[in-house]
Amino acid sequence: MSVLILSTLVSEQDWFNEIKRQKPDLDLRLSLDEGNINDITHAVVSSPEHGQLAKLPNLKYIHSMWAGIDHITKDPDWPKNIPIIRMIDYGLNHGIMEYVVGHVMHHHLRMDYFNDEQSKKLWSWQSQLLAKDRSIGILGLGTLGQFTAQHLSSLGFKLSGWSRTAKKIANVVSFAGNEELEAFLKQCDILICLLPNTIDTTNLLNDKRLKILPKGAYIINAGRGQLINDDDLITNINNGHIFGATLDVFHQEPLPSNHPYWAHGKITVTPHIAAETKIDSGVKTILDNIKYLDDDNSINDLPGVFNIKSGY
């Protein structure tokens, strides 16, 4: 068994060093030209160069360094018969949760308003809502969505969630399927987007669905930029239906300098910082998965396996 690291976006050497630190005896490679290519059974990847994975004749598993896998499937030659294992990791879970909770509280406490009033030296007392009076909806109840829901629940918010199939989560009202999407959106004071990018989720939040949200709703997107139609979001903010948005993901990244999001007073832009894989815990997760699989355990019992039919 040999493991190959392939990445065009993060340091392959950093991952090599950390994997070697945690498992010194592992046959680990940084290039297809090292050793016998037939020995490579695992690939650890983030946005690998197109065509590289298809060159590995005995590849058994592809391990994503990230929670998303579209950086793999955008390769037209990716081997579709090889299982892809998404990153499900302590660092990712906490990163998303902390980002979402932080921006929820920032909006919930109306900090933008008070910061603006401070700049004018105005003492503008305003009554604050308690968490129990604020309805938060999570669009996407996978691992990250459920983990985030648990922490928001502990703060006392009224929580609901939407997913492709119904979920049973303590203190979260579950909505499922296209037939329940409208009912879900209607009661979201704050909408948190954590869905993956699939054919079904692209432009899910278009003008029609944005108008279903309550007037004054706020949107936080830490899922994928493709979920939201940019022009429709700006239109609905400008006409006052949507209060504003915090966006960490975009159709094109880095966000082009001429994009209207940058200068919009009701939109907060962050540079895809929420879902960062921490290298030490990420490596541990991947090494645990490799050991689990090489001990002949069923991949069907391993969390995070990409389902090509559902797109995530």
| The residue to which tokens 């929420």 are assigned | 274
Q: Catalytic one among 29, 42, 134, 224?
A: 224
Question: Coil, strand or helix: which one is 250?
Answer: coil
φ/ψ bin of 173: left (φ > 0), alpha (ψ from -120 to 50), beta (otherwise): beta
Beta strands in the chain (DSSP E): 2-7, 28-29, 40-46, 61-64, 84-85, 135-139, 158-163, 172-176, 190-193, 217-221, 242-247, 267-269
DSSP tag of 131 = G
Joined together, the tokens standing for residue 78 give: 């990716």
Examine the residue annotation and report whether 103 is marked as an active-site residue of this protein. no
**If you write DSSP's letter for every residue of 26-89 in order, what string do you get?**
S-EESSTTSS-GGGEEEEEEESPPTTSGGG-TT--EEEESSS--HHHHTSTT--TTS-EE----
Question: Coil, strand or helix: which one is 210?
Answer: helix
DSSP tag of 106 = H
Examine the residue annotation and report whether 209 is marked as an active-site residue of this protein. no
Contact at 8 Å (CB) between 129 and 156? Answer: no
Catalytic residues: 224, 272
